[in-house]
């Protein structure tokens, strides 16, 4: 039975894709009378099947060697494109995480999108994401991973653009597509450049090649940087991070999925490419630098936001930055553990925020407050998610970050210190959001705020419970470090950094400091609140130059290329219009032309005779 289930693991991405196709039946243009709700139910069932399938496989592959299949796709002259699938504890674990969170966010969407008619489109896109991500987890080839990433980029565009009659949604979807696409295109360059070097696209093959290869370091640096650029865009790393901020215009349930899992797809590819990236010290340094800058910058920006969703979206960038740092430092195990704990904790937080926004309407943190007594379940879920995110023992985030700091301490203490600072800032940010929503007096928008109906609350509670149980689960899987070998200093430092951040935030936002809090230097506050003015930077650098160049090219096409062709036509017309005056209508002129023509012809044809002619007149 288990064997059969493992052999059919390739079906897991197919269930949600089937759900995607089925939900199209409930498009408002297809099913005109009975409403779109069955689309959601069908997708829930499909996701549940996928989850159960993965769950049944998991014990069978746990601590077993990976089973691989090869699905033949196509062979063209010298290039064999075969899709390798790997069924291992890691990939099935990732699929469990993906389908689990997807199931919960779909259930959440059933409650959240109660008043929305666009279920068919929404659930079809969620299913596309789920199928894509399961496929990405299973597939063991850089080439096919790239293909799936591109499909997911398209999915992001469509999902952010769900409510497309809002203008900010349209610009946000545009930016998300283009920014991620730029990264993907660089990734494609890397993917194409690595084939002649390694001769394979399989991640295993690449890792094996990286063990023994002796490539020109400069070449490897360039290829490595291109390979990093794809995950950089996917994970919303500086400077390709603006899209995640604007992607917050999409519906909340998709935000849960995106912030917890979709941004992690880039990190997944990055982790799998780590052996290749490690070939070039420049690339690993660049990865660490990108991650560090993003983690610091995004956590600072997150503190200065007044929009709930955006404050959390920058945390996604910050945590992906931490993953980048981990991959750059070679700590792939810690990075994977961090992805797991982050995904679960952050979805608890986002579900709680969505639950608040659903019936407090505003997303403005300055308009909320005092919800703790009325919204205890949401408040607890948020608090648990926040504690699970930052390093507070014994919850999950602590172990992941501890593992990371532990691994970094000897090789790169600077990175470890940055990590502590980021943890401190993130702790400040999450507690600030908590205090602004649940602490203090209720503002007008939050005067009457009941808890939500069960499809919104249940997944939130389940995820919060998962966050609480994660350490137990990890322990039972022997993924936690032994307490005896543990680095107590690092553990204490991490705990203190998060406690310090939390305490400062609590004092500032619950204490006597005047609200809204003003920094002594206003330009700095504005700089952080406006995300380092990234839209302006984009517009003045890349967008501006591409705009100017395209206008120039358009002008050149209109006036120079078209002009040259039109000039031929105009010249012909002008020639006809002017040369017709040669027809004077006078017979004598015709006679003259005949005479001249004949003379010229005669002179030309008899030139050899005429030039030798010696006219002797006299003597």
Least distance to other proteins, CB of residue 554, Å: 41
Confirm or reject binding of residue 585 to other proteins (CB under 8 A): yes
Confirm or reject binding of residue 521 to other proteins (CB under 8 A): no
Question: Chain centroid to CA 224: how far?
Answer: 19
Exposure string for 573-605, b = 16+ CB within 10 A, e = fewer:
eeeeeeeeeeeeeeeeeeeeeeeeeeeeeeeee
| Phi-psi sector, 531: left (phi>0), alpha (psi -120 to 50), beta | left
Q: CA-CA distance, 390 to 609, in Å (whole number)?
A: 106
DSSP symbol at 616:
-
Task: List all residues 6 or more positions away from 340 whose beta carbon is below 8 Å from its beta carbon.
Answer: 93, 97, 396, 400, 470
Least distance to other proteins, CB of residue 615, Å: 8
Confirm or reject binding of residue 587 to other proteins (CB under 8 A): yes
285 versus 584: smaller Cβ distance to other proteins: 584
Q: CA-CA distance, 110 to 256, in Å (whole number)?
A: 14
Confirm or reject binding of residue 615 to other proteins (CB under 8 A): yes
Confirm or reject binding of residue 588 to other proteins (CB under 8 A): yes
Contact 236, 176 (CB under 8 A): no
Provide the H-helix boundaries in 201-307. 203-212, 217-234, 242-246, 252-257, 263-272, 274-277, 281-303
Best CA proximity match to 141, nearest among 97, 187, 84, 196: 84
212 versus 588: smaller Cβ distance to other proteins: 588
219 versus 595: smaller Cβ distance to other proteins: 595
Best CA proximity match to 457, nearest among 550, 337, 376: 376
**Stretch of 66-74, 152-160, 476-484, 584-592 contacting other proteins, by CB under 8 A:** 584-592
**Stretch of 22-30, 36-44, 329-337, 589-597 contacting other proteins, by CB under 8 A:** 589-597
Least distance to other proteins, CB of residue 544, Å: 55
Contact 145, 194 (CB under 8 A): no
Confirm or reject binding of residue 581 to other proteins (CB under 8 A): yes
Least distance to other proteins, CB of residue 589, Å: 8
**Stretch of 19-27, 304-312, 493-501, 585-593 contacting other proteins, by CB under 8 A:** 585-593
Q: CA-CA distance, 266 to 149, in Å (whole number)?
A: 8
Confirm or reject binding of residue 614 to other proteins (CB under 8 A): no
**Stretch of 1-9, 414-422, 493-501, 579-587 contacting other proteins, by CB under 8 A:** 579-587
What is the largest distance, in Å, between two alpha-carbon atoms of the chain?
138
Residue owning tokens 């408040």 = 379
Least distance to other proteins, CB of residue 576, Å: 11
520 versus 582: smaller Cβ distance to other proteins: 582
Confirm or reject binding of residue 586 to other proteins (CB under 8 A): yes
Confirm or reject binding of residue 595 to other proteins (CB under 8 A): yes
Residues 384 to 443: which contact other proteins by CB under 8 A? none
219 versus 591: smaller Cβ distance to other proteins: 591
Confirm or reject binding of residue 592 to other proteins (CB under 8 A): yes
Joined together, the tokens standing for residue 176 give 């998300």
Least distance to other proteins, CB of residue 543, Å: 57
Confirm or reject binding of residue 580 to other proteins (CB under 8 A): yes
Least distance to other proteins, CB of residue 567, Å: 24
Task: List all residues 6 or more positions away from 373 whose beta carbon is below 8 Å from its beta carbon.
Answer: none
Q: Which residue of 219, 472, 591, 602 would you call a contact of other proteins, by CB under 8 A?
A: 591
Least distance to other proteins, CB of residue 582, Å: 8
Confirm or reject binding of residue 584 to other proteins (CB under 8 A): yes
166 versus 572: smaller Cβ distance to other proteins: 572
Confirm or reject binding of residue 619 to other proteins (CB under 8 A): no
Question: What angle separates helix 488-510 from helix 413-438, to the nearest 10 degrees?
Answer: 30
DSSP H helix total and E strand total for the chain:
27, 2
**Stretch of 51-59, 92-100, 355-363, 587-595 contacting other proteins, by CB under 8 A:** 587-595
Burial of residue 309 (CB within 10 Å: 0-12, 13-18, 19+) is: buried
Confirm or reject binding of residue 561 to other proteins (CB under 8 A): no
Q: Which residue of 211, 212, 583, 612 would you call a contact of other proteins, by CB under 8 A?
A: 583
Contact 517, 508 (CB under 8 A): yes
Question: Contact residues for other proteins (CB under 8 A)?
Answer: 580-581, 583-589, 591-592, 595, 615
């Amino acid at each position: 039975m288990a064997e059969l289930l493992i052999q059919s693991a390739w079906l897991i991405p197919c269930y949600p894709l089937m759900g995607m196709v089925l939900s199209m039946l409930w498009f408002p243009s297809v099913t005109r009378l009975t409403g779109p709700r069955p689309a959601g139910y069908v997708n829930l069932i499909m996701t549940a099947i996928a989850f159960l399938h993965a769950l049944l496989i998991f014990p069978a592959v746990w601590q077993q060697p990976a089973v691989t299949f090869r699905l033949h796709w196509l062979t063209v002259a010298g290039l064999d494109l075969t899709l390798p699938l790997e069924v291992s504890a890691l990939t099935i674990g990732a699929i469990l995480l993906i389908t689990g969170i997807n199931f919960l966010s779909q259930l959440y969407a059933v409650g959240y999108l109660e008043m929305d008619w666009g279920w068919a489109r929404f659930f079809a896109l969620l299913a596309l994401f789920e199928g894509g991500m399961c496929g990405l987890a299973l597939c063991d080839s850089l080439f096919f991973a790239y293909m799936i990433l591109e499909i997911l980029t398209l999915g992001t565009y469509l999902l952010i653009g769900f409510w497309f009659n809002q203008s900010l949604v349209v610009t946000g979807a545009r930016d998300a597509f283009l920014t991620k696409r730029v990264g993907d295109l660089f990734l494609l360059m890397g993917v194409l450049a690595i084939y002649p070097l390694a001769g394979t696209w399989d991640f295993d093959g690449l890792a094996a090649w990286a063990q023994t290869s002796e490539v020109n370091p400069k070449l490897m640096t360039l290829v490595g940087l291109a390979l990093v650029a794809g995950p950089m865009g996917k994970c919303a790393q500086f400077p390709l991070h603006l899209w995640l901020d604007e992607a917050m215009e999409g519906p909340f349930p998709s935000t849960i999925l995106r912030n917890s899992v979709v941004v992690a797809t880039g990190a997944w590819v990055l982790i799998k490419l780590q052996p290749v990236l490690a070939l070039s010290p420049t690339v690993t340094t660049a990865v660490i630098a990108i991650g560090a800058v993003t983690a610091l910058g995004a956590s600072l920006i997150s503190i200065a936001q007044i929009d709930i969703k955006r404050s959390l979206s920058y945390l996604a960038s910050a945590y992906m930055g931490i993953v980048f740092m981990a991959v750059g430092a070679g700590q792939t195990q810690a990075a994977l553990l961090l992805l797991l704990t982050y995904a679960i904790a952050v979805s608890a937080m986002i579900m709680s925020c969505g639950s608040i926004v659903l019936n407090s309407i505003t997303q403005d943190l300055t308009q909320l407050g005092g919800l703790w007594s009325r919204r205890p379940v949401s408040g607890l879920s948020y608090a648990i998610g926040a504690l699970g995110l930052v390093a507070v023992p014994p919850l999950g985030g602590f172990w992941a970050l501890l593992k990371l700091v532990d691994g970094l301490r000897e090789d790169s203490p600077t990175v470890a210190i940055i990590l502590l600072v980021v943890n401190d800032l993130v702790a400040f940010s999450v507690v600030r959001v908590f205090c602004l929503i649940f602490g203090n007096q209720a503002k007008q928008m939050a005067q009457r705020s009941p808890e939500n109906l069960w499809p919104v609350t249940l997944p939130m509670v389940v995820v919060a419970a998962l966050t609480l149980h994660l350490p137990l689960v990890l322990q039972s899987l022997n993924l936690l470090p032994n307490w005896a070998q543990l680095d107590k200093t690092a553990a204490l430092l991490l705990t203190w950094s998060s406690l310090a951040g939390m305490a400062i935030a609590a004092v500032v936002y619950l204490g006597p400091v005047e609200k809204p809090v003003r920094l002594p230097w206003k330009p700095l506050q504005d700089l952080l609140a406006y995300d380092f003015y990234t839209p302006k930077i984009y517009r003045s650098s890349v967008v501006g130059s591409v705009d100017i160049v395209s206008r120039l090219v358009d002008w050149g096409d209109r006036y120079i290329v078209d002009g040259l062709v039109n000039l031929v036509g105009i010249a012909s017309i002008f020639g006809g219009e002017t040369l017709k005056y040669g027809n004077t209508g006078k017979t004598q002129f015709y006679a003259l032309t005949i005479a001249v023509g004949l003379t010229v012809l005669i002179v030309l044809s008899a030139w050899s005779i005429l030039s030798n002619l010696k006219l002797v007149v006299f003597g």
